[in-house]
A and B are shown apart, each in its own frame.
Chain A
Amino acid sequence: MTGSHEGHPSPLHLAVALDGAGWHPAAWREPGARPRDLLTAEYWTDVVTEAERGLLDFVTLEDGLALQSSHRTQPDERTDQVRGRLDAVLVAARVAPLTRHIGLVPTVVATHTEPFHLSKAIATLDYVSTGRAGLRIRVSRRSHEARHFGRRTIPRLGLDDLDTPAAHELTAELFAEAADYIEVVRRLWDSWEDDAEIRDVATGRFVDRDKLHYIDFKGQHFNVKGPSITPRPPQGQPVVSALAHPGVPFQLVGSSTDIGYVTPHDTGQARALVTDIRAAQATAGRAEEPLHIFGDLVVFLDDAPGAAASRKERLDALAGHPYTSDAKVFTGTPGQLADLLLEWQRAGLSGFRLRPGAISHDLEAITRGLVPELQRRGAFRTAYESGTLRGLLGLPRPANRYAPSEPEGSPRP
């Protein structure tokens, strides 16, 4: 999964991260934005269809267990930004039958949900999309989200508390739980062997129960017996991803995911982050396994030089402050962005997850501006080459951990 060095670049992978009207807090005020449609199936279908038109690998869908907030740990009670959202897994399910190729990767929160429910939900998303499901895992360390569930107490952290030992301990605990959560989700996907359903009329047996497996997971936060109620999904293992900032989250990416999203601000950082993730991967004993590292970027794109920067300034003025992000905020032309992506690809990133500043403008700028630019340079696909998300990402269909004799990458019966 390393990028090529000199000469012809290997094709890169592209995803877009979808959140409301876009990542800029004033994006909903852009001409062409549809702020009153954000809770409709039509809006999400249109947006994902546009991403598919651009031959993107997948979309991620943001989600959370509280109203959106501009504050990192607390509600903000603002009324000038998009508030309210739909469950991301269900948005993905609603769009799945209306698209054919693009991967669907909803965000799920490990901290307050049941791995058993989530495993069958993503397996089912894989069935309804015929092999295009993934998930992006996140944790919640917000005390007000914990209050929505009432099952555990998470201390209220102010911005000044985020760097304290107590906060780090909490973060470590939540990420350790997330790793357990993914382990359970993955074991449940494998808890049915591919050929467990036999429909043997002679013996009257619908399944061969020797091919159904208890997962018997025991952990600090949950024990899960299994097997899943849902048969192994079409991809075997849907794609697991996580956004990771340096530190504990890198361990999660190294041990548990197929894709890690990182947030470099320059080429040197991109190279360093790749080195760190590869080290975490090796520490987890997965050095030989495929693991994509995608760079996250917020993008404002216009063809005319300077136009994207002025558009962002206009949105900043509406929002009342300059927009900043954990990820690099790029303003420029599709050609300039292509230059940057290819340079970072040479630093070791295999793909990018672009966060459109304003979906109404920047999504089409990606699909109809950036994509053709990359295609001209031989760096991006000109047609979908696979019907599954794993296929688009070059990931083989994995053998089932409970069926050791199954040959690697064997087709579904």
Chain B
Amino acid sequence: MSKPLKQIHLAAHFPGVNNTTVWSDPEAGSHIEFASFAHFARTAERAKFDFLFLAEGLRLREQGGKIYDLDVVGRPDTFTVLTALAAVTDRLGLTGTINSTFNEPYEVARQFASLDHLSGGRSAWNVVTSWDAFTGENFRRGGFLPQDERYSRAKEFLDTATELFDSWHGDEIVADQESGVFLEDARAGAFVHEGQHFDIAGQFNVPRGPQGRPVIFQAGDSEEGREFAASSADAIFSRYSTLEPGREFYADVKGRLARHGRTPDQLLILPAATFVLADTDAEAQELAHEVRRQQVSGQTALRYLEHVWNRDLSGYDPDGPLPAIDPAPGENTVARGRASVRSHRDPLAIAREWRERAAAENLTIRELVIETTGRQSFVGSPATVAETINALVQADAADGFILVPHITPGGLDAFADTVVPLLQERGVFRHDYTGTTLRDHLGLAEPAAAPATRRVAS
């Protein structure tokens, strides 16, 4: 008997503040007006997607000491816009990226618990860490968090927030008008946490939400990040959307779960993926090429190269060869506030690799950057894209995808109208929601409330 078909999970990433988002297109709308968010969320819900995803960045990016102006700049507060979206959708999950460095557990826990109540159980938290004094300049804490403390703080932050979510069991509010008993337990919400990063105690003031806790996402790719996900996350927002790297990552992370007493279905792997659709594969390829040129202008290409070179390259010709000079050593001081800079761990090696590739394929700076950064994950007719997505999921390269359209807010419309029906026909994607909470959509069980022994006696 053949293996039963896996059901695909799909999510929509609101177009971000990077060059993937094409703001210059005549179809491109506002990135800040609520109407854009509402349109995008309603499209995702019409297509029966699992959730909407919002990224976050807490300081405007700079390059060469100036605010970076070539990409979309500006975004809303994550909690506020997600909660407003709960008013214009009924089932769609609402996933927010929230930093664990420039926040405190009590406040973040009450915001997520509030979002969970106000959305009827649709909240999710993509837990990220930050690392730089640059972002810290906007916050009380300020300063820099050493690399080795980044994950330990994130882990303890999440553990602490979980203790707060679990400090209410869900049955404390009696609200018996006759007897006058509102609360069954005067110590509801009691907690004590003493740790390396947080030493707090008292009573949490938001009763347990419909999902118990928000669904937890993790996005880091390092060894610590993978372990963090295997121990604590419900889903991973990963970067491996192609077959072999996807399978390798999938097997690696799912293979870690048993050590944490968990089963493979308790952690979903959801890579980010871009797409370009057209009536035919050939037209889609042509369109995709055009989109890549919109995404990577000559200026954008030079600026991208500076992320690796850590030098001012504004004097170079984007339609000429790569710089012969090597990247400047040390921490990147040219491009600030970008996660991608961190992933270039060995700039010298990357520069060497890119020069070799440019020489071999006769690529200019701009062409090289288009080739290395701009390739869309899925390009083709709706049938081709549906088949590609399904094949990747059935081959265990992913459990589904977080789709990143390049146009706001209509970039998801065609996918919803043309690809989703094909996946539904194949029996690999839901025709309608079968549950009300995000945990229902993702097939995750509601976490058990904390055992009574963990609670503080009155």
Contact = CB atoms under 8 A, between A and B. Distances in A.
Interface of A: 26, 28-29, 33, 35-36, 39-41, 45, 64-68, 75, 77-87, 89-91, 93-98, 112-114, 116-117, 120-121, 123-125, 127-128, 130, 144-145, 147-151, 192, 197, 199, 201, 204-209, 212, 221-227, 229-231, 318
B88 interface: yes
B114 interface: yes
Contacts of B104: 112, 149, 151
Contacts of B33: 127
Interface in B80-112: 80-81, 83-84, 86-88, 102-104, 106-107, 110-111
A83 B138 contact: no
B200 interface: yes
B162 interface: no
Nearest to A192: B74
A96 B87 contact: yes
Interface of B: 23-24, 32-34, 38, 57-60, 66-67, 69-77, 79-81, 83-84, 86-88, 102-104, 106-107, 110-111, 113-115, 117-120, 137-140, 142, 168, 172-173, 175, 177, 180-189, 198-203, 205-207, 297, 299-300, 458
B183 A83 contact: yes
Nearest to A119: B77
Contacts of B185: 79
9 tightest A-B CB contacts, nearest first = A35-B175, A128-B84, A225-B137, A124-B80, A87-B114, A124-B77, A124-B76, A77-B186, A93-B83
A94 B70 contact: no
A65 B102 contact: no
A116 B58 contact: yes
B114 A91 contact: yes
Contacts of A64: 205
B200 A230 contact: no
B67 A212 contact: yes
Nearest to A20: B182
Nearest to A231: B74
Of B69, B188, B201, B458, which is in contact with the most chain A CB atoms at under 10 Å from its CB? B69
Of A78, A80, A81, which is in contact with the most chain B CB atoms at under 10 Å from its CB? A80
Given A127-B34, A199-B23, 10 more contacts: A77-B458, A84-B172, A93-B83, A97-B88, A144-B202, A144-B203, A206-B23, A222-B139, A225-B138, A229-B59
Contacts of A222: 139-140
Nearest to A208: B69
Of B60, B172, B181, which is in contact with the most chain A CB atoms at under 10 Å from its CB? B60
Given A87-B110, A150-B198, A79 B206 contact: no
A130 B34 contact: yes
Nearest to A143: B202
Nearest to B179: A80
Nearest to A128: B84
B77 A230 contact: yes
Contact of A94 (B38, B69, B74, B87): B87
Nearest to A81: B182
Contacts, number: 225
A41 B114 contact: no
Contacts of A224: 137-139
Chain B: interface secondary structure?
Answer: loop
B79 A90 contact: yes
Of A79, A90, A121, which is in contact with the most chain B CB atoms at under 10 Å from its CB? A90
A90 B83 contact: yes
Contact of B75 (A113, A128, A201, A229): A229
A208 to B, nearest CB: 7
Of B59, B114, B172, which is in contact with the most chain A CB atoms at under 10 Å from its CB? B114
A93 B80 contact: yes
B76 A114 contact: no
A79 B88 contact: no
B364 to A, nearest CB: 17
Contacts of B72: 206
Contacts of B58: 116, 229
B32 A116 contact: no
B138 A206 contact: no
Contacts of B137: 223-225
Contacts of B187: 77
Of A87, A112, A199, which is in contact with the most chain B CB atoms at under 10 Å from its CB? A87
A79 B182 contact: yes
25 contacts: A28-B177, A28-B182, A35-B182, A41-B120, A64-B205, A67-B205, A84-B183, A85-B205, A86-B206, A87-B110, A90-B79, A94-B86, A96-B84, A114-B103, A121-B79, A124-B76, A128-B81, A147-B202, A148-B201, A149-B106, A206-B71, A207-B73, A222-B140, A223-B142, A230-B32
Nearest to B21: A206
A87 B76 CA distance: 18
B194 to A, nearest CB: 9
B73 A75 contact: no
B373 to A, nearest CB: 17
B188 to A, nearest CB: 7
A89 B71 CA distance: 30
A89 B114 CA distance: 10
A84 B70 CA distance: 46
A39 B106 contact: no
Contacts of B182: 28, 35, 79-83
Given A97-B84, A121-B77, A230-B77, A84 B140 contact: no
Contacts of A123: 76-77
Nearest to A97: B87
B114 A86 contact: yes
Given A86-B206, A90-B111, A205-B70, A318 B76 contact: no
Contact of B189 (A36, A67, A91, A125): A67
A326 B83 CA distance: 33
Contacts of A205: 69-70
A75 B23 CA distance: 52
Contacts of B118: 40-41, 86, 90-91, 94
A204 B32 contact: no
Given A81-B182, A204-B297, A209-B67, A98 B87 contact: yes
A75 B205 CA distance: 11
B73 to A, nearest CB: 5
Contacts of A113: 107
Nearest to A88: B114
